Amino acid sequence: MKNRNVFFWSIVVALGGFLFGFDTAVISGAEKAIQQLWGLSLLEHGFTIAVALIGTVFGAMFGGIPSDKLGRRQTLIWIAVFYLVSALGAAFTSNWYAFMAFRFLGGLGVGASSVTAPVYISEVAPAANRGRMVGMFQFNVVFGILIAYLSNYLLVNLGDNAWRWMLGVQAAPALAFFLLLFKVPESPRWLLSQGRVEEGRDVLRRIDPTTADQDVTTILTSNANDKADGGGESLLAGSYRKPMMLAVLFAVFNQVSGINAIIYFAPRIFEMTGLGKDSALLSSAGVGLVNLIFTMLGVNIIDKFGRRKLMLVGSFGLIATLGLVARAFYLKEFGEFGGMLVPVLLFVYIGFFAFSQGAVIWVFISEIFPNAVRAKGQALGSSTHWVMAAIITFTFPYFAEKLGGGNTFAFFGAMMVLQLLFVWRIMPETKGTSLEQLEKTLVIH
């Protein structure tokens, strides 16, 4: 990366992804203690764990509004405050209702972060490095999940209040995120969209002084053309049909791959294969490590090979692994089942997913919308992703029990065949192309 400014800004903003991953996973170490402390029923316990996910859906749905009104940087500062207050509040409260409110606040931060952070990075990164820069957000999400598991493991023996330490320790990276954001400038494309031309030009000069003036002209022309065509700031304008369709389908395919069902219910799936409960530790640590390694691989080669190639390779891999898992469950009914086959296949599955969908989703959705509606478009893709995540997560145990493992994984495999057709026939390549040039090809003028 030639420009140290852009690299530093992207690293700082990608910290929002680390907190996203940490906040999502940290509750796994605290949930049993919380249930015992407040004597929660099964329904109350389930809602207490799910309340952050509910906050995430709302944060994703409405995260584009402050991003457009206040600016990308100011919204990220508020997200950092949400993370900080959520961590400290959940750790210190003695009231169940207050605990849920603080966890909901953290969920809002997660959802809004999945909208604003990729948008900001895509708007400051040069086209040649944009995939890797935005991909750092997803890498940090996975890294945050892994660190949350490790942190829980290290703090578990601190006594009755260990769960408070597990949740409260997130305040340290949240505070660092908050303070570092004051060293990050506002997005130049947002500044130009607000008529703050000289401020936008100054930021573009810090990115690349040789092209700053030309970039200002290109961006202002693009914004003017967009308004002249009747698009403006309404995402529902007919000219945005194609990027809207691409974002929604990409987000839906991300979840009907079964990824969240497999990550959240890996121990249950392994038990369905006949393995003992001791495989649960292996599964959570192994899944986290494989996810991290292959996300890193995907992020490092996304700008060289392109988004479509990663998705094509990943789609074939997901179809093959899901098909073999389904076959293993079908054979189990006839007593021909290899105990370690399914865990090995699921690790391979995680690798293919992290390398393709995991590395590409936030990059691709942040690229395909015009400047005027990029935050709203990212909110559409992100909220679709989180709503589908909730649906798949909540329905998986029911369908796995009623339909059996074979039919359930066959369904996920069939969805990945449809994803392959989507990538092959519809998905455009976006690597190495400026955001304004992409607008010309994706928006109906």
Band (pLDDT 50/70/90 cuts) for residue 1 is very low
pTM over 0.95: no
Length of the chain: 445
pLDDT value of position 268? 61
For the segment 8-37, the average pLDDT, to the nearest whole number, is 86
Ramachandran class of 125: left when φ > 0, alpha when ψ lies in -120 to 50, beta otherwise: beta
**pLDDT, the chain, mean:** 86
Which residue has 């494309």 as its token pair? 189
Band (pLDDT 50/70/90 cuts) for residue 232 is low
The answer to whether domain 1-184 and domain 234-445 are alike in fold is yes
Task: Mark 260-290 as b/e (b = at least 16 C-beta within 10 Å).
Answer: bbbbbbbbebbebbebeeebeeebbebbbeb
Q: Give the residue extent of every domain in the chain.
A: 1-184, 234-445
For the segment 11-24, the average pLDDT, to the nearest whole number, is 90
Q: Candidates 3.30.465.10, 1.10.10.10, 1.10.540.10, 1.20.1250.20; correct CATH number of 1-184?
A: 1.20.1250.20
C-alpha closest to that of 159 among 253, 33, 314: 33
State pLDDT tens for residues 303-314.
999 999 999 999
Q: Report the distance separating Cα 342 and Cα 347, nearest Å.
A: 9
Q: Report the distance separating Cα 436 and Cα 416, nearest Å.
A: 31
Please check the confidence at residue 83 and state whether its pLDDT lies above 90: yes
Is 205 exposed, middle or buried, given 0-12, 13-18 or 19+ CB atoms closer than 10 A? Answer: middle
Record: fold of 234-445: Growth Hormone; Chain: A; (1.20.1250)
Q: Report the distance separating Cα 290 and Cα 282, nearest Å.
A: 12
State pLDDT tens for residues 353-392.
999 999 999 899 989 988 788 888 999 999 999 888 888 8
State pLDDT tens for residues 315-346.
999 999 999 988 888 876 555 555 567 778 88
pLDDT value of position 274? 59
Looking at residue 171, its amino acid is A
